[in-house]
Structure 1
Amino acid sequence: MPQDRRESLRAATNFPAHILTDGGRRTPCTLAERSASGALLKVVSAASLPDAFTLIVGHSGEIRDVRVDWRQSDRLGVTFA
């Protein structure tokens, strides 16, 4: 089993959110897991997204700048800036 290197425990969520890029493009996503230091985002295509962007969480209106730590085809692991 791979070692979990997260700084803090993540809680499962299922909140709608949006990714806002520097160019003004808004991409829908789902905030699937969240911790004090970062999150797991489900997206349609991770390859087309930049390495840093603004995350807007739909249920609360929270706005966070994030940095991508890892990506898979439909998921992003991000750290809050």
Structure 2
Amino acid sequence: MEEKRKYPRTEIDEPAYVSAGGSVMSCVIRNISEEGAAIDIENPAFVPARFRLVMAKGASVRECQIAWIQHKRIGITFVAVPQE
């Protein structure tokens, strides 16, 4: 299969949190690149189209949107936040 991503993904196994609308759900980041990631989450149906991904290590926060869902794995793209 041909790789179509601009940036290579790094395989990781890092706990994180999906935060949206006052609710927080735990997830695991399976791989990550400069422009997106794949996460595993127990109930993908409860994840909104746009949300914040809070990484447990380093406490970084990224604005995200869903690119695809397969079973309990969600592919996400990082959304650029306008600088004020």
TM-score (norm. length: structure 2): 0.88
* 2:44 equivalent to 1:34: no
User: Identity of paired residues, percent?
Assistant: 28
1:4 deviation in Å? Answer: 2.6
Q: Structure 2: which 5+ runs fail to align?
A: 80-84
Moved over 6 A (4+): none
5+ unaligned residues in a row in structure 1: which ranges?
Answer: none
2-side partners of 1:72 and 1:16: how far apart?
Answer: 19
In the TM superposition, 1:2-17 aligns within 5 A as 3-17=2-16
Q: Aligned match of 2:49 in 48, 51, 56?
A: 51
TM-score when scaled to structure 1? 0.91
Count of residue pairs brought into register by the alignment? 79
Q: For 1:47 and 1:14, how far apart are their aligned partners in 2?
A: 22
